[in-house]
Amino acid sequence: MTEPTPSSSPAPSAPAARTSILVVNGPNLNLLGTREPEKYGTATLGDIERLCAGAADAHGLECDFVQSNHEGALVDAIHEARHSAIGIVINAGAYTHTSVAIRDAISAVTLPAVEVHITNVHAREPFRHHSYLSDVCRAVIAGAGTLGYRFAIEYLAELTRERVL
Protein backbone atom coordinates (compact mmCIF):
# COMPACT_ATOMS: atom_id res chain seq x y z
CA MET A 1 0.00 0.00 0.00
CA THR A 2 1.44 3.33 -0.96
CA GLU A 3 1.03 6.50 0.95
CA PRO A 4 -0.68 9.37 -0.88
CA THR A 5 1.80 12.00 -1.93
CA PRO A 6 1.16 15.63 -1.13
CA SER A 7 -0.21 17.62 -4.02
CA SER A 8 2.12 20.10 -5.62
CA SER A 9 -0.75 22.57 -6.09
CA PRO A 10 -1.46 25.00 -3.28
CA ALA A 11 -4.32 24.29 -0.96
CA PRO A 12 -7.53 26.02 -2.01
CA SER A 13 -7.97 29.28 -0.21
CA ALA A 14 -11.07 30.12 1.70
CA PRO A 15 -13.52 32.31 -0.14
CA ALA A 16 -12.94 36.00 0.48
CA ALA A 17 -15.18 37.47 3.12
CA ARG A 18 -17.99 39.52 1.70
CA THR A 19 -17.68 43.09 2.84
CA SER A 20 -19.83 45.14 0.49
CA ILE A 21 -23.42 46.26 0.27
CA LEU A 22 -24.95 46.93 -3.12
CA VAL A 23 -26.91 50.20 -3.17
CA VAL A 24 -29.32 50.26 -6.11
CA ASN A 25 -31.09 53.39 -7.31
CA GLY A 26 -33.62 53.25 -10.10
CA PRO A 27 -35.06 55.66 -12.63
CA ASN A 28 -34.93 59.41 -12.10
CA LEU A 29 -32.90 59.17 -8.91
CA ASN A 30 -29.96 60.60 -10.86
CA LEU A 31 -31.98 63.86 -10.79
CA LEU A 32 -32.10 64.10 -6.99
CA GLY A 33 -31.29 67.58 -5.77
CA THR A 34 -33.16 69.21 -8.62
CA ARG A 35 -36.17 66.92 -9.13
CA GLU A 36 -39.16 68.04 -7.07
CA PRO A 37 -37.10 69.23 -4.09
CA GLU A 38 -40.31 69.87 -2.14
CA LYS A 39 -40.83 66.06 -2.12
CA TYR A 40 -37.31 64.65 -2.34
CA GLY A 41 -35.21 67.38 -0.71
CA THR A 42 -32.05 68.93 -2.06
CA ALA A 43 -29.61 66.08 -1.43
CA THR A 44 -28.05 64.74 -4.61
CA LEU A 45 -27.38 61.13 -5.48
CA GLY A 46 -23.72 61.85 -4.72
CA ASP A 47 -24.73 63.04 -1.24
CA ILE A 48 -26.62 59.79 -0.69
CA GLU A 49 -23.64 57.75 -1.85
CA ARG A 50 -21.37 59.59 0.61
CA LEU A 51 -23.93 59.01 3.39
CA CYS A 52 -24.06 55.30 2.58
CA ALA A 53 -20.28 54.97 2.33
CA GLY A 54 -19.86 56.63 5.73
CA ALA A 55 -22.49 54.40 7.35
CA ALA A 56 -20.92 51.28 5.84
CA ASP A 57 -17.40 52.34 6.83
CA ALA A 58 -18.52 52.67 10.46
CA HIS A 59 -19.22 48.92 10.33
CA GLY A 60 -16.11 47.92 8.40
CA LEU A 61 -18.08 47.55 5.18
CA GLU A 62 -18.02 49.15 1.74
CA CYS A 63 -20.74 50.09 -0.72
CA ASP A 64 -21.02 49.44 -4.41
CA PHE A 65 -23.39 51.82 -6.16
CA VAL A 66 -25.52 51.47 -9.25
CA GLN A 67 -28.07 53.88 -10.65
CA SER A 68 -29.85 53.27 -13.90
CA ASN A 69 -32.98 54.34 -15.68
CA HIS A 70 -32.99 50.92 -17.38
CA GLU A 71 -34.61 47.94 -15.70
CA GLY A 72 -32.26 45.32 -17.18
CA ALA A 73 -29.17 47.13 -15.90
CA LEU A 74 -30.61 47.00 -12.38
CA VAL A 75 -31.41 43.29 -12.73
CA ASP A 76 -27.85 42.62 -13.95
CA ALA A 77 -26.35 44.51 -10.98
CA ILE A 78 -28.50 42.55 -8.53
CA HIS A 79 -27.39 39.27 -10.12
CA GLU A 80 -23.73 40.27 -9.86
CA ALA A 81 -24.15 41.11 -6.15
CA ARG A 82 -24.64 37.46 -5.29
CA HIS A 83 -20.88 36.97 -5.68
CA SER A 84 -19.67 39.83 -3.50
CA ALA A 85 -22.32 41.51 -1.35
CA ILE A 86 -23.70 40.82 2.08
CA GLY A 87 -26.95 42.55 1.17
CA ILE A 88 -28.78 45.03 -1.01
CA VAL A 89 -30.28 48.46 -0.36
CA ILE A 90 -32.73 49.25 -3.14
CA ASN A 91 -34.69 52.32 -4.09
CA ALA A 92 -36.14 51.08 -7.35
CA GLY A 93 -38.06 54.30 -7.92
CA ALA A 94 -41.06 53.76 -10.18
CA TYR A 95 -39.94 50.18 -10.86
CA THR A 96 -41.03 49.40 -7.30
CA HIS A 97 -44.62 49.52 -8.54
CA THR A 98 -44.14 47.80 -11.91
CA SER A 99 -41.18 45.42 -12.05
CA VAL A 100 -41.66 41.73 -11.56
CA ALA A 101 -38.18 41.31 -13.09
CA ILE A 102 -36.47 43.25 -10.27
CA ARG A 103 -38.58 41.39 -7.71
CA ASP A 104 -37.52 38.05 -9.17
CA ALA A 105 -33.85 39.13 -9.24
CA ILE A 106 -33.93 40.02 -5.55
CA SER A 107 -35.61 36.74 -4.74
CA ALA A 108 -33.15 34.75 -6.87
CA VAL A 109 -29.95 36.05 -5.29
CA THR A 110 -31.12 35.23 -1.75
CA LEU A 111 -29.32 38.20 -0.21
CA PRO A 112 -31.09 40.21 2.45
CA ALA A 113 -32.50 43.32 0.81
CA VAL A 114 -33.96 46.52 2.21
CA GLU A 115 -36.42 48.56 0.16
CA VAL A 116 -35.96 52.30 0.65
CA HIS A 117 -38.14 55.24 -0.37
CA ILE A 118 -37.23 58.83 0.39
CA THR A 119 -40.89 59.83 0.57
CA ASN A 120 -43.74 58.10 2.34
CA VAL A 121 -45.17 56.29 -0.66
CA HIS A 122 -48.28 55.39 1.35
CA ALA A 123 -49.18 59.09 1.68
CA ARG A 124 -48.89 59.62 -2.08
CA GLU A 125 -50.84 58.56 -5.16
CA PRO A 126 -52.70 55.25 -4.82
CA PHE A 127 -50.61 53.53 -7.54
CA ARG A 128 -47.53 54.03 -5.32
CA HIS A 129 -49.08 52.08 -2.45
CA HIS A 130 -48.30 48.70 -4.03
CA SER A 131 -44.76 47.36 -4.15
CA TYR A 132 -43.64 44.30 -6.05
CA LEU A 133 -40.50 44.27 -3.89
CA SER A 134 -41.71 44.46 -0.30
CA ASP A 135 -42.50 40.78 0.14
CA VAL A 136 -39.01 39.70 -0.98
CA CYS A 137 -37.20 42.33 1.12
CA ARG A 138 -36.27 41.89 4.78
CA ALA A 139 -37.34 45.45 5.62
CA VAL A 140 -39.00 48.49 4.07
CA ILE A 141 -38.07 52.05 5.02
CA ALA A 142 -40.30 54.79 3.64
CA GLY A 143 -40.61 58.47 4.44
CA ALA A 144 -37.37 58.90 6.41
CA GLY A 145 -35.81 61.01 3.67
CA THR A 146 -32.24 60.21 2.74
CA LEU A 147 -31.64 58.89 6.28
CA GLY A 148 -33.55 55.80 5.17
CA TYR A 149 -30.45 54.72 3.29
CA ARG A 150 -28.33 54.98 6.44
CA PHE A 151 -30.92 53.03 8.42
CA ALA A 152 -30.87 50.32 5.74
CA ILE A 153 -27.06 50.05 5.84
CA GLU A 154 -27.11 49.81 9.64
CA TYR A 155 -29.79 47.13 9.50
CA LEU A 156 -27.79 45.02 7.03
CA ALA A 157 -24.63 45.49 9.08
CA GLU A 158 -26.49 44.27 12.17
CA LEU A 159 -27.80 41.23 10.30
CA THR A 160 -24.25 40.40 9.25
CA ARG A 161 -22.94 40.83 12.79
CA GLU A 162 -25.67 38.51 14.12
CA ARG A 163 -24.74 35.83 11.56
CA VAL A 164 -21.10 35.97 12.65
CA LEU A 165 -21.83 35.65 16.36
* Active centre residues (catalytic): 40, 117
Helix 147-164, helix 45-57: angle, nearest 10 = 30
- Coil, strand, or helix at residue 79? helix
Residues 140, 116: Cα–Cα separation, whole Å: 6
Q: Residues 111, 134: contact at Cβ < 8 Å? A: no
